[in-house]
Amino acid sequence: MKQSATLAAQLADAARIVARVAAGKSLSEEIGRVSEMDSRSALIDLTHGTLRRYGRVQSIVERLSRRARPDAPVEALLWCALYALASARHAEHTVVDEAVKACGLIERWPAKGYVNALLRAFLRQRSTLEAQLAVEPRAAHQHPDWWIELVRAAYPSAWQEVLAAGNTHPPMALRVNQRRVAVDAYAARLALQGIAVRRVGAEGLLVERPLPIERLPGFAAGEVSVQDAGAQRAAHCLDLHAGQRVLDACAAPGGKSGHLLELADVALTALEIDASRAARIAPNLQRLGLSAEIKVADASRPGDWWDGRPFDRILADVPCSASGIARRHPDVKWLRRAADVPAFAERQRAILAGLWRVLAPGGKLLYATCSVFPQENDAVIEAFIAAEPAALRLPAADGAPPQWLPDDEHDGFYYALIAKRA
């Protein structure tokens, strides 16, 4: 009985959050308001699982509903209940009954009959619906139609794999702070605690089964950070040397800044336009026993923040569509529109132009995105190289291609290294 009551409350809470996300709110911010860890864990499963099934749950409700469009909280409740049915963590009749009870918890008592009827219709017609959804792109690939077309055009031989990866649970990778502990030694400590990992990259460990950071030995002491293996590639691409002046533009929350400082004794400036996000950089660096000069300003307007001394290395981790990390932030598929991609590209060009002014002759700039859309990646870089005589594109130090697509080891990232001719 207690479990049933808990499921109804979880469905109601998840529906409220999903409805707000569908209206334009950030999923991470909404989840961040939940303080109890038990409730937080259940909500993450229900909300993220529902939103990863972006097109599927919508299509099911649209096909079965006799209403033009249900009330937003009721619609979100149905989406969450459909995910709960697909997860098979509860008996089907339990999910239906608890979804009906959840109507009262979200103060939509008249919708009880409608919710009950639609969910039971889904269970009766499941086989027929599955066949119909299989040929509907939005439902089959669980992404917006415009997103599907961009990926299909960019990766004609791998587009289905890229989309499928965006619907999976993301891998959990650790970055060992080798200033404090060796990678193999830390892996051995994890093994003693029954935490299975394998090496990935120079400082990385891929966790077999994701776990809360509280279970990571030495986390509070700065011995390890959680950072995707694809994101860990950035610091190694910059060819760092002790004593260099280094700029991490668009630096919050400071993950890549920390990695740069772990690798070399450089003078780092961390730049971030958003003051609230910039406030997270210092605590993250302090945990690692590191520090940087932190500035709150627009990277595209160096006149507002630059002291006139050029930087030897610049990491331009520019804002983007986040299409390469959609599985970590499934609300991205709700919030993005096709028009956002060219808008991001325009902003990226402005940041690149601004940062180029503060790069020293002979210096190197690494352009980075967590996008798989070429319009934000190769298109931006190729146009910049063509227009800037002093720009020389270099191969990555690891010999890997600029674009990494999401897979079972890492998310989707793009890196382009550019040297400024002396």
Catalytic residue among 237, 250, 320, 370: 370
Does residue 370 have an active-site annotation?
yes
Find the DSSP H helices in 158-248: 159-165, 183-192, 233-237
User: How does 264-279 read in b/e, with b if 16+ C-beta sit within 10 Å?
Assistant: bebbbbbbbbeeeebe
Give SS3 for 247.
Answer: strand
Give the Cα separation of 180 and 50 in Å (integer): 40
Give the Cα separation of 96 and 74 in Å (integer): 13
Structure tokens belonging to residue 3? 């479990």
**Type and span of the H or E element at 255:** helix 255-263
DSSP secondary structure code for residue 310 in this structure: P
Calculate the alpha carbon distances from 6 to 1, 12, 96, 111, 412 in Å.
Answer: 9, 10, 14, 20, 36
Structure tokens belonging to residue 274? 């958003």
Place of tokens 């325009």: 346
User: How does 108-131 read in b/e, with b if 16+ C-beta sit within 10 Å?
Assistant: beebbebbeebbebbeeeeeebee
Contacts of 410 (CB under 8 A, 6+ apart): 171, 173, 200, 228, 229, 230, 231, 404
Structure tokens belonging to residue 246? 């280094």
Contact present, 177 and 205 (Cβ < 8 Å):
no
Give the Cα separation of 299 and 377 in Å (integer): 18
Give the Cα separation of 56 and 33 in Å (integer): 27
Residue 356: half-sphere exposure toward Cβ, Cα within 13 Å: 21
Which positions are catalytic?
370
